[in-house]
Chain A
Amino acid sequence: SQQGEEDPQALSIQEGENATMNCSYKTSINNLQWYRQNSGRGLVHLILIRSNEREKHSGRLRVTLDTSKKSSSLLITASRAADTASYFCATDRDTGRRALTFGSGTRLQVQP
């Protein structure tokens, strides 16, 4: 079963606008990652935030983590048409298991 749930399920914005996607999860985690998937195929790692971190930046990406609410957000600033993709959060638990649990994803459409 999916631990993470992203919202919104779909988001359409204009180029230059900011895009915010949210992820909620159910159990305590070790790390939370965000991945991008183009055209329903391979995923690309974007950013990882550890459970003891609250915010992280990478280029135009900003990730926040609120472990008390079991939620994370991904902000993409100054969006570009090339950012059009599906975005997934993935969590791992501090149990030694190497399995990531993925959310159901947000489909982002950036209109040029």
Chain B
Amino acid sequence: GAGVSQSPSNKVTEKGKDVELRCDPISGHTALYWYRQRLGQGLEFLIYFQGNSAPDKSGLPSDRFSAERTGESVSTLTIQRTQQEDSAVYLCASSPPGQGVAKLFFGSGTQLSVL
């Protein structure tokens, strides 16, 4: 694809509900990252995928957060039993093989609002 695609662009949910956020990376990009950005702040690392495996999940804030990636392509970030503090923009990024973290390509994010 032309760029990293995320859906939905906006999600409003009620406290306690589960949500799924989707990321379609650039075709051929083997590395995929999820970050969270709270209002007016920088990005917080959540999880990194290399292919379909996740060597680094250290940024996931609690066991309510999980992510998977299939077919070395699409990734889904799931937040169970959402809390108000989960409200943020969730950004996905990808990078091609051999690039390391030298240059990430970001999607436009999903704005999650938990009421």
Contacts and interface: CB of A to CB of B under 8 A. Distances in A.
Contacts, number: 67
Given A41-B89, A42-B109, A98 B48 contact: yes
B41 interface: yes
B58 A99 contact: yes
A43 B95 CA distance: 13
Contact of A98 (B42, B43, B56, B106): B56
A34 to B, nearest CB: 11
Interface stretch (A51-59, A75-83, A102-110): A102-110
Contact of B104 (A41, A45, A101): A45
Contacts of A97: 56
Contacts of A90: 43
A100 B91 contact: no
A40 B91 CA distance: 11
A48 to B, nearest CB: 6
B101 interface: yes
The contact size tier of chain B is 20 to 34
A31 interface: yes
Interface string B14-48: 00000000000000000101010100111111001
Nearest to B43: A102
B108 interface: yes
Interface string B56-86: 1011000000000000000000000000000
Given A45-B105, A98-B48, A100-B104, 17 more contacts: A2-B41, A4-B42, A33-B102, A42-B4, A43-B91, A43-B93, A97-B56, A98-B55, A99-B33, A99-B56, A99-B101, A100-B33, A100-B45, A101-B45, A103-B42, A104-B40, A104-B42
Interface of B: 4, 31, 33, 35, 37, 40-45, 48, 50, 55-56, 58-59, 89, 91, 93, 100-109
10 contacts: A42-B4, A43-B106, A44-B106, A98-B31, A99-B45, A99-B59, A101-B45, A102-B35, A104-B40, A105-B42
